[in-house]
Amino acid sequence: MSTNETPKPLPASDEAWWRNAVVYEIAAISFQDSNGDGQGDLPGLLQRIDYLNWLGVGAVWLTPIYRSPNRDFGYDIADFCAVDPRFGTQEDFDEVVRALHDSGIRIILDLVPNHTSDEHAWFTESRASRSNPKADWYLWAEAGPNGGPPNNWLSRFGGSGWEWCEERRQFYYHSFLPSQPDLNWRNREVREAMASTMRFWLDRGVDGFRVDASAVLIKDDLLRDNPPDPEADDKTPPPQANMPVFTDDRPEAMDCIEYIRGVLDEYDGRLLCGEVQGKTDRIGHFYGNSKPRLNLPLNFALLDTEWNAISLQATIDAYFNAIPKGAWPDFVIGGHDKHRVASKLGQAQARILAMLLMTIRGTPFLFAGDEIGSEQVPIPAEQVRDPFERLVKGFDLGRDPERAPLRWDDTEAGGFTTGEPWLPLSGDRARNIEAQQRDGKSLLNLYRELIALRRREPCLLHGEYRPRRAQNDVFSFERSLGETEILVGLNLSGEPRLFEWQGNGLILLSSGLDRGPGKVDGPIHLKPNEGVIVKVTR
């Protein structure tokens, strides 16, 4: 195939492919560097596709690789239809798509419809005057009565969400950095322009999008002030002092998501997942009612729950009760702006989480490094890159610790680069992919076995979820499909526990280090931090 030929999409199937896939998020800048500049790039990702194939993931979600001044991890986009030179070229991207598809792996791109960089040509034109063709493409407003901002809306990165523009003698709104002006999704031309960017990538074989900040696409057209949060105190980060009633999760935002979904549905077999705000009980409406919205509103409940059997059963039950009948669930355990879960749970319980993630009903999402138990990397103050940490200090909001480059081996630069890494790598040199690939009992090999088991057992992919009562620190559930029944028992304590069930079965897999597959009769004496998957025999 010529390198100038547009990559072909993988064929669509009768069943939505994402129901069977494990989705693996990659921040290209932290995955693999190919040229020694200390930043990961697309040629580096190309070098590691064999690893993705070995692990068994079904899809890669790639954080933004678009042209950007990179003030916010590439989410400040200056050109939606160009690859940033620090990541490579359009040809490099096309080659990544081809190589992934040749391995049977789909690719999902981040779609950032809420805002652009202030260096985007659209904003340059919009800010030039109040009469130019793109004057209404962003959220502009007159100054308030005192000459200050139009209302009390806050930026998530601290301070007012309004920035003065001398050229227009008006304020523009930014949900994030002042260099990230929000687009006006009430403008039909804005929607059509964003649709064109989507088609650009879909025509190049991209298998779907993860919509960034999907709940904030529309703000109140009356510019009403947000009310103070009555529960805010001195431990509340300043950007969260008000309740975002008039800026987040507006009913009109659902129309925007429906529009985006409509564009995606022009193409067969494409996925739309998205970052949604709010509590679990609000997640259901992001799936859609009369019109479809997101295929998968991303669910971070496993990251937010207290890690004990009683809390876990309540969290999972609340989630399944919140999604509409027939909707497909998903579970996310990591991300580029989520603290590393292994730092919260510890390495022993990270194995339990892996078993839960790969056996519960729904599509699993993990972030590169979760499969080896990567933890938060301490970042010296002088090396902090994240604007959130620099602007809102003292609240543990910095995202650099989870964005540190992936450690492939135990060398100083971890096999990630031959240069100086853009962020420090973990000081735990022993926790690396190469070492864990060699160790048959490592967390990495447990993930690989679990992913392979999902593929072998249709019950784990498609079976119904049936909760069981959590008792004595053991969280357990059943999966059933036709005559097949699989039990999962997870010991969430560091002490031995009894997994109560009656009958005969085959242990398909244990998260423990010294229990292999084989026949078993219930109940099972679980070792500390052990989980088991049992296929019931009649």
Whether residues 436 and 482 fall in one domain:
no
Whether residues 264 and 397 fall in one domain:
yes
212 is catalytic: yes
Residue 368 lies in a domain: yes
The per-residue pLDDT for 515 is 84
The per-residue pLDDT for 439 is 97
The per-residue pLDDT for 394 is 85
The per-residue pLDDT for 22 is 98
Which helix (DSSP H) or strand (DSSP E) does residue 126 occupy? Answer: helix 121-128
CATH number at residue 500: 2.60.40.1180
79 is catalytic: no
The per-residue pLDDT for 455 is 96
Q: What is the pLDDT of residues 13-72, one digit of tens each?
A: 657 999 999 999 999 999 999 999 999 999 999 999 999 999 999 999 999 999 999 999
Angular region, 147: left φ>0, alpha ψ -120 to 50, beta rest: left
Whether residues 165 and 267 fall in one domain:
no
- Which of 430, 451, 472 terminates a domain? The answer is 451
The per-residue pLDDT for 11 is 73
The per-residue pLDDT for 281 is 85
* Selected catalytic residue, list 50, 167, 266, 428: 266
Q: What is the pLDDT of residues 398-442, one digit of tens each?
A: 999 999 999 999 999 999 999 999 999 999 999 999 999 999 999
Whether residues 106 and 62 fall in one domain:
yes
CATH number at residue 165: 3.90.400.10
Count CB-CB contacts under 10 A for residue 135.
18
- Which of 400, 427, 451 terminates a domain? The answer is 451
Cα→Cα distances 266→10, 195, 203, 349, Å: 16, 11, 11, 43
The per-residue pLDDT for 13 is 65
The per-residue pLDDT for 290 is 86
Domains contained in the chain, number = 3
Residue 105 lies in a domain: yes
Whether residues 119 and 107 fall in one domain:
no
* Selected catalytic residue, list 41, 84, 212, 371: 212
Beta-ladder partners of 474: 471, 491
Whether residues 315 and 401 fall in one domain:
yes
Cα→Cα distances 241→231, 276, 357, 432, 520, Å: 9, 20, 34, 40, 54
Residue 10 lies in a domain: no
Whether residues 319 and 331 fall in one domain:
yes
Whether residues 59 and 151 fall in one domain:
no
Residue 478 lies in a domain: yes
CB distance 446 to 357 below 8 Å: no
Its domain, for residue 105, covers: 17-114+188-451
Rounded to whole angstroms, the Cα distance separating 249 from 253 reads 6
Helices (H), 334-430: 341-345, 347-359, 387-391, 400-403
Whether residues 401 and 438 fall in one domain:
yes
CB distance 368 to 30 below 8 Å: yes
The per-residue pLDDT for 1 is 39
Residue 446 lies in a domain: yes
CATH number at residue 365: 3.20.20.80
Whether residues 251 and 280 fall in one domain:
yes
Whether residues 275 and 333 fall in one domain:
yes
Which residues in the chain come in under a pLDDT of 70? 1-4, 12-14
Residue 63 lies in a domain: yes
- E strands, 40-84, are 59-62, 66-67, 79-83
Whether residues 345 and 475 fall in one domain:
no
